[in-house]
Amino acid sequence: MHSVVCIKQVPDTTEVRIDPKTNTLMREGVPSIVNPFDMHAVEAALKLRDEYGGKVTVITMGPPQAVEALRRVKTLGVDRTILLSDRAFAGSDTLATSYIITQAVKKIDSEDAVDLVLCGKQAIDGDTAQVGPGIATRLNMPLVTYVIDIDSVDTEKKTITLKRSVENGRTALCVEYPMLMTVLKELNEVRYASLPNMILATNFKAEVWNKDDIGAEMKNMGLDGSPTAVRKIFSPPVRECGEMIPHGIEQPDVAVHNLIEKLSHNKTI
Ligand SMILES: Cc1cc2nc3c(=O)[nH]c(=O)nc-3n(C[C@H](O)[C@H](O)[C@H](O)COP(=O)(O)OP(=O)(O)OC[C@H]3O[C@@H](n4cnc5c(N)ncnc54)[C@H](O)[C@@H]3O)c2cc1C
């Protein structure tokens, strides 16, 4: 089973720095981590490899320093790591990002057939949760979001049985693969790095692919290939806490009376 996991390097903070002139994310100088959801996607792929054989390829799109994200997952024992990096990728919105990653997955698939593509539910900086579904759509693969459990894989029938989180519970599904899933943190516990893998990771060199390597067209990436533009970014105003009406439980009739009084007084009813 060959899994490709998409990981994103994100700032290690909820305070994403934004260039006020260009409305783009400023990553330089901000300590970075692997997007936490993506670590669970990597763990899921490693578990599948451990149980059913195959390999795990991890890709990330970003500036040269995103190689550190790949080094981090190398310490967990992934087989292959690829950094998608090119100045032409800069300024890509989620549509362009999913195009670039799709091109890379197609190339990987042409070398070594891909069974599963795994993504995190969302990135903690961009927070759109659009990239995974965008890749699945472009690859014309079945998509399952919010995966919380992978029960089993039937390698003969090429199906995977899993559970996904829905608003009021969970749904069990049996899906044919190749498919793409986005995962939640409940899916698993991320393993610790082993000493041999940590030593391997210190000297490793990720493969770096540019736009020509993946056959990406200029019109589909960067600012030119991004139909959405951020007009303004701002922190939402802090919500004021609500007012408590006393005696709500022990004397509900009094509480209702007080509430009506208050609302009438405010001329809101
Ligand atoms: C309108 C708009 C304009 C933007 N303009 C710019 C810009 O000018 N410059 C800029 O740097 N950024 C820009 N961004 C941010 C950029 O589009 C996002 O960083 C990127 O598309 C990922 O989106 P996201 O963070 O919402 O990821 P999500 O869709 O929330 O991520 C879901 C999953 O997709 C995978 N994934 C996401 N991103 C990557 C990645 N880079 N590599 C590998 N896997 C990934 C991960 O598995 C992740 O868990 C813009 C975003 C928007 C919405």
Q: Per-residue pLDDT tens for 168-180? A: 999 999 999 999 9
Q: Is the same domain home to 175 and 252?
A: no
| Of the listed ranges 37-41, 188-192, 203-207, 238-242, the one predicted with least confidence | 238-242
Q: Provide the number of structural domains found in the chain.
A: 2
Give the chain's radius of gyration (CA, Å): 23
Given 220, 237, 260, the domain boundary residue is 220
pLDDT at 15 over 60: no
Q: Cα–Cα distance between 18 and 180 in angstroms, integer?
A: 31
Q: Is the same domain home to 212 and 127?
A: yes
Question: Does residue 236 lie in a domain region?
Answer: no
Q: Is the same domain home to 45 and 113?
A: yes
Q: Cα–Cα distance between 132 and 138 in angstroms, integer?
A: 10
Q: In a mutational test of the pocket of ligand 1, which residue from 16, 93, 146, 224 has the highest number of ligand atoms less than 8 Å from its CB?
A: 93
Q: Is the same domain home to 156 and 253?
A: no
The residue assigned the tokens 């919380």 is 148
pLDDT at 269 over 60: no
Q: Quick check: 150 and 144 in contact, CB under 8 A?
A: no
Q: Is the same domain home to 165 and 269?
A: no
Q: Residue 43 C-alpha to ligand 1 middle, in angstroms? A: 21
Task: Give the model's pLDDT for residue 23.
Answer: 66
Q: Is the same domain home to 213 and 252?
A: no
Mean pLDDT, range 27-35, rounded to an integer? 82
State the pLDDT confidence band at 167, using cuts at 50, 70 and 90: very high
Question: Does residue 108 lie in a domain region?
Answer: yes
**Residue 19 CB: number of other CB atoms within 10 A?**
10
The residue assigned the tokens 């599948």 is 48
Question: Does residue 229 lie in a domain region?
Answer: no
The residues with which 4 forms a beta bridge, in sequence order, are: 57, 117
State the pLDDT confidence band at 266, using cuts at 50, 70 and 90: confident
Given 220, 237, 254, the domain boundary residue is 220
State the pLDDT confidence band at 104, using cuts at 50, 70 and 90: very high
Q: Is the same domain home to 140 and 181?
A: yes
For residue 53, give both structure tokens: 């054989």
Mean pLDDT, range 102-108, rounded to an integer? 98
Task: Give the model's pLDDT for residue 58.
Answer: 98
Q: Is the same domain home to 210 and 250?
A: no
Task: Give the model's pLDDT for residue 239.
Answer: 83
- Quick one: which H or E segment has residue 207? strand 207-209
Question: Does residue 233 lie in a domain region?
Answer: no
State the pLDDT confidence band at 16, using cuts at 50, 70 and 90: low
Residue whose CA is closest, atom 10 of ligand 1? 91
Mean pLDDT, range 126-148, rounded to an integer? 96
Query: Domain range holding 132?
Result: 2-220
Whether residue 32 has its Cβ less than 6 Å from ligand 1: no
Q: Residue 242 C-alpha to ligand 1 middle, in angstroms? A: 35
Q: Work out the percent of the chain whose per-residue pLDDT is above 90.
A: 74
Q: Is the same domain home to 249 and 205?
A: no
115: which residues sit within 8 A by CB, 6+ positions away?
Answer: 1, 2, 3, 54, 158, 177, 178
Whether residue 230 has its Cβ less than 6 Å from ligand 1: yes
CA atoms within 13 A on the CB side of 153: 21
The ligand 1 atom at the shortest distance from the C-alpha of residue 22 is: 8
Task: Give the model's pLDDT for residue 262.
Answer: 85
Question: Does residue 238 lie in a domain region?
Answer: no
The ligand 1 atom at the shortest distance from the C-alpha of residue 35 is: 49
Q: Is the same domain home to 175 and 250?
A: no
Question: Does residue 156 lie in a domain region?
Answer: yes
Q: What is the CATH number of the domain that holds 192?
A: 3.40.50.620
CA distances from 157 to 77, 116, 152, 153 (A): 28, 14, 12, 9
Task: Give the model's pLDDT for residue 175.
Answer: 98
Q: Is the same domain home to 252 and 125?
A: no
Q: Hey, is 162 helix, strand or coil?
A: strand
Q: Is the same domain home to 73 and 182?
A: yes
The residues with which 80 forms a beta bridge, in sequence order, are: 57
The residue assigned the tokens 């139909």 is 227
Residue whose CA is closest, atom 25 of ligand 1? 126
**What are the backbone angles phi and psi of residue 263, rounded to the nearest 5°?**
-65, -40
Question: Does residue 84 lie in a domain region?
Answer: yes
Task: Give the model's pLDDT for residue 268.
Answer: 53
Q: What's the CA angle centered on 207, arms 38 and 218, to 5 degrees?
A: 85
Q: In a mutational test of the pocket of ligand 1, which residue from 131, 182, 208 has the highest number of ligand atoms less than 8 Å from its CB?
A: 131
Mean pLDDT, range 215-224, rounded to an integer? 95
Average pLDDT, the chain: 92
Q: Hey, is 103 helix, strand or coil?
A: helix
Question: Does residue 225 lie in a domain region?
Answer: no
The ligand 1 atom at the shortest distance from the C-alpha of residue 228 is: 1
Alpha helices (H) in the chain, listed in sequence order: 36-52, 67-74, 94-111, 131-139, 195-203, 252-265
Given 220, 235, 254, the domain boundary residue is 220
